[in-house]
Structure 1
Amino acid sequence: MAALLSAFRPGDEALGVSELARRTGVPKSTTHRLTAHLVDEGLLDPAGKGRLRLALKLFEIGQLAVAQRGLVDTARPYLADLREATRNTAHLAVLEGTEVVYLDILRGPDAPTLPSRVGGRFPAHATSVGKAILAFSSESVVDGVITAGLSRISPRTVTAPGLFRSQLTTIAREGIAYDREESGVGVVCAGAPLLGSDGTAVGAVSLSGWTNRMRLERVAPAVRTAALTLSRLLP
């Protein structure tokens, strides 16, 4: 599908299935099926007479990518400081739908091997970064996560909607979120939101470590301070 999107060139207003198949070398029947899927996903728009054009959603994704690159560059020194000070793993993440996407990860030498990876996703409700973002998001965003289902990731994952909302209220008041083995057995995390000028979260940072090695109450102030400083640097 990436080849089909990349087949559009500067100056192309719209292309037909036959032209897309010719440019990509993909069989016409396959091209027809894949373009129908891209239309359903909002990445292509019908342009009449069987032709297709790139959808505005691609522009929005591109703008988001540019903004996130700037966020990664700005946050990297603070993540490095957190890692060096604690020898644990520092994360930078944003919310996309019901999941967090990790934009940057600096792994600490004393930290556990985590399933998180740059560009990877994880259910937001089971992470400190996810809860930190949701606590400073609109009610509709929170409702969307809860409606999708709070799946059990580990034995300690919070899956009751009422308890989850209560956690978010506490996080909004204290400015710090915790993952106490909710994303994985033996792992704890402290996360804090990156707030835009309107007070809503645009991302979050966190520290993750072993339950028996990292004291959440000790690292939480450092995570909170890093998040507050980064928030002031956001456009």
Structure 2
Amino acid sequence: MTDGPLPKSVLARGVMLLRACGDSGTSLSLAELALGTGLPKPTAYRLIGELVRLGLVERTEAGRYRIGLGLFVLGQSAPSVRELRDAALPYLGDLHEMTHENVHLAVPDGPDTLFLEKLTGRRATPIVSRTGGRLPAHCTATGKVFLAQDPRPPHRTLPRLTPRTMVLPGQLARDLALTRARGYGVNLEEAEVGISAVAAPIYARGHGPRPIAAISVTGGTRRLDVDRVGAKVCAAARALTRSLSA
């Protein structure tokens, strides 16, 4: 359930329902939407019906709800996202060809890292991430790249996703210092057991010293050579940064 008081505006409540559908990565029942947002069930029913009529949400034959094609089209039309994704795709493709693993393009989104693109293949290790999905920044390689530029300790309880997730502020601060020193972030089974990742920052002219995005390679811990893959990811990130600043 959403923390804090419910918003009063119809627009804000509609956005809550859209986010609930998007964050789930699958379809939700009306009861699940009401529980996840904290909205009264009659309110959730009325608003989700309007979102269906607008084409932003789809109602399945089983009576469940999921993000609709109309919302996907709107999201793809955002210029900043489209331009960044288009510029990054050749570099993501090169990394995938070199590693045969999952390759991500991510941006910061509050306390999370948001995946704008994911390239995978039959030889890549299956992982939980998806395009349009998000994970807590403190336990992902891309998220650590963003957090490393803001060394203040987090003012919230950090969720533990695996036994190796860093939830103590001091432990995380040391890891972020190491991220800054070596130039790339590493996630060693901190978001998913058996899965590790390496990520490097992307910068752009006019956006100051903070990275606007990050690219990463994610795969099985046993076969991911962090140092070797880290060098490849950093090289791709530098090339993309030069392209964006040209």
Q: Which residue number in structure 2 is paired with residue 72 of structure 1?
A: 85
Closer/same/farther in 2, CA of residues 109 and 187 from structure 1, 3 Å limit: same
Is the contact made by 1:89 and 1:208 (CA closer than 8 Å) also made in structure 2? Answer: yes
Q: Which residue number in structure 2 is paired with residue 163 of structure 1?
A: 171
Identity of aligned residues (%): 37
Compute the TM-score of the two structures, normalised by the length of structure 2.
0.66
Is the contact made by 1:188 and 1:209 (CA closer than 8 Å) also made in structure 2? Answer: yes
Q: Which residue number in structure 1 is paired with residue 118 of structure 2?
A: 105
- SS class of match (1:156): coil
* Residues 1:203 and 2:219 aligned together: no
In structure 1, what is the Cα distance between the partners aligned to 2:230 and 2:125? 18
In structure 1, what is the Cα distance between the partners aligned to 2:123 and 2:109? 29
Residue 135 of structure 1: which of 148, 151, 162 is its match? 148
Gaps of 5+ in 1: 6-28, 35-60
What is the CA deviation profile of residues 30-79 of structure 1, one whole-angstrom value per residue up to 9, with x for unaligned ones? 69x97xxxxxxxxxxxxxxxxxxxxxxxxxx98x9321111100000100
What is the CA deviation profile of residues 84-133 of structure 1, one whole-angstrom value per residue up to 9, with x for unaligned ones? 11101100000111011100000133322111111111111110000012
Is the contact made by 1:134 and 1:201 (CA closer than 8 Å) also made in structure 2? Answer: no
Q: Which residue number in structure 2 is paired with residue 45 of structure 1?
A: none
Give the letter aligned to residue 184 of structure 1: E
Is the contact made by 1:90 and 1:108 (CA closer than 8 Å) also made in structure 2? Answer: no
Q: Which residue number in structure 1 is paired with residue 226 of structure 2?
A: 216
- SS class of match (2:155): helix
How far is the alpha carbon of 1:148 from its aligned partner?
2.5
How far is the alpha carbon of 1:147 from its aligned partner?
1.4
Is the contact made by 1:80 and 1:106 (CA closer than 8 Å) also made in structure 2? Answer: yes
* Pairs within 5 Å for 1:1-235: 65-136=78-149, 138-139=150-151, 142-143=152-153, 146-197=154-205, 198-235=208-245
How far is the alpha carbon of 1:169 from its aligned partner?
1.3
Q: Which residue number in structure 1 is paired with residue 62 of structure 2?
A: none
- SS class of match (1:201): coil
Compute the TM-score of the two structures, normalised by the length of structure 1.
0.69
In structure 2, what is the Cα distance between the partners aligned to 1:96 and 1:187? 22
| Greater strand share, structure number | 1
What is the CA deviation profile of residues 154-183 of structure 1, one whole-angstrom value per residue up to 9, with x for unaligned ones? 110111101111111111121111011111
In structure 1, what is the Cα distance between the partners aligned to 2:95 and 2:84? 16
In structure 2, what is the Cα distance between the partners aligned to 1:164 and 1:90? 24
- SS class of match (1:147): coil
In structure 2, what is the Cα distance between the partners aligned to 1:202 and 1:82? 19
In structure 2, what is the Cα distance between the partners aligned to 1:80 and 1:195? 19
Gaps of 5+ in 2: 1-9, 16-41, 48-73
How far is the alpha carbon of 1:223 from its aligned partner?
0.2
**Coordinate RMSD, CA, aligned:** 2.7
